[in-house]
Amino acid sequence: MKTYIVKPGDTIHKVAYHHQIRPFDLLIFNPQLITDSDYIYPGDAINIPQVKQEKQQVRPSFEYEYGPVDLEYDVNELQRLYSRYMKTTTIGYSVMGKPIMMVKIGTGKKEVFYSGAWHANEWLTGKFLMMFLKQCLHHIATDEKWFAYDLRAIFKEVTLVIVPMVNPDGVELVQQGIYPDHPYFEEVLYINKGARRFDHWSSNIRGVDLNHQWPAGWDIEAKESPQEPWPRHYSGQAPLTEPEAKAIYNITNQHQFAYVLAFHSQGQVIYWGYRGYEPDESKEMVTKLSLASSYEPIHTADSDGGYKDWFIQETGRPGFTIEVGNGTNPLPLSAFSEIWSNNAKLALAGLCL
């Protein structure tokens, strides 16, 4: 038996994966843990059983929660491996000071923007974008086609800008919970009415919903939403008060994105309109995205204040919200295979709209 001290970002699935054992093995040898979705907190000591070689089970890499620690590691690793093809920038910092990372691939004039993990309990979208990035880089480097897409040729025409995780503090909260050393311990517990589970949390760490922060019908949305910091749907005291939203606002203004795709979960639908501000070509584009993914196009979500709403209103160019997966947020890890198979093709089609 070994002892392992829990680190920031750890979960039962992640620790089990890194020790090549099953989450179930951890539960057996740590009676304080009841289910594999229990939180484990930084500094906790947990027992790691030595499982016999033949019982060891190497788990596929997507079967654990994907958080800011994983993201930072993967981005740096990819940057090291594929420095010829990608460029990483930190575009800002979350409320708790985590970097908000942006990656660019391609040298084309047409700039396209993909973003994910806006909502804390929708972190599978961040995992998806990182896997998509990894596959794109692999196919560019080996000069192999991916689903008949010639990525080397495409990335001469297109520059893809990706921010895989807009809300790193919120993602970490959903995955690891809260503990007394956490800098927002009191505030978060107050917002959450004392409850210690955060599965329903979609806001940032201050209880502001980063996709309700945008100056496009913000007043209307704010009036109909919670009036104080809340696990979801609170629009903030004004548009763009939060550093995470501000970082996206700044880079959107610094680029000329031809269109944007914002990944959320869930529903298996694609929203493509905003109060009639969307251009004519949006309809043709959403048809292509729908054919690639089998997700259903829906004109509007009957809401305001979202990033794609603001993008459409502000620029007159197309914006899309992709609602990946089906079920209740946070979607279980097992939802990932559907998300991957439908959205890898959608995200490829998205390069060529």
Which among 24-32, 35-43, 256-264, 302-310 is the span making contact with Zn ion, rule CB under 5 A? 256-264
By beta-carbon proximity to Zn ion, the closer residue of 159 and 175 is 175
Residue 204 Cβ, how far from Zn ion at the closest point, in Å? 13
Residue 263 Cβ, how far from Zn ion at the closest point, in Å? 9
By Cβ distance, which residue is nearest to Zn ion? 264
By beta-carbon proximity to Zn ion, the closer residue of 119 and 127 is 119
From 65, 172, 323, 338, the catalytic residue: 323
By beta-carbon proximity to Zn ion, the closer residue of 92 and 126 is 126
Distance (Å, whole) CA 1 – CA 46? 10
Q: Can you say whether the dihedral through the CA atoms of 99, 104, 110, 115 is positive or negative?
A: negative
Does residue 292 contact residue 351 with C-beta atoms inside 8 Å? no
Give Cα separations from 222 to 20, 32, 121, 213, 229 (angstroms): 47, 42, 21, 9, 12
Nearest CA among 291, 214, 290 for reference residue 299:
290
By beta-carbon proximity to Zn ion, the closer residue of 259 and 263 is 263
> 146 pairs with which residues across the strands?
149
By beta-carbon proximity to Zn ion, the closer residue of 13 and 232 is 232
Nearest CA among 203, 132, 119 for reference residue 162:
132
Distance (Å, whole) CA 278 – CA 320? 10
Q: Which of residues 62-121 bind Zn ion (CB under 5 A)?
A: 119
What is the total residue count of the chain?
353
Distance (Å, whole) CA 96 – CA 204? 10
Tokens (6 digits) for 288: 């292509």
Residue 61 Cβ, how far from Zn ion at the closest point, in Å? 24
Output the DSSP codes for 32-57.
T--STT----TT-EEEE----GGG--
Residues in the interface with Zn ion (CB under 5 A) total 3
Residue type, 341: S
Write the burial class of residue 116 (CB in 10 Å: 0-12 exposed, 13-18 middle, 19+ buried).
buried
Residue 122 Cβ, how far from Zn ion at the closest point, in Å? 5
Contact mark string toward Zn ion, 257..296, x via CB under 5 A: -------x--------------------------------
Residue 66 Cβ, how far from Zn ion at the closest point, in Å? 16
Residue 170 Cβ, how far from Zn ion at the closest point, in Å? 11
By beta-carbon proximity to Zn ion, the closer residue of 122 and 172 is 122
Contact mark string toward Zn ion, 117..136, x via CB under 5 A: --x--x--------------
- Catalytic annotation on 111? no
Residues that bind Zn ion (CB under 5 A): 119, 122, 264
Catalytic residue ranges: 323
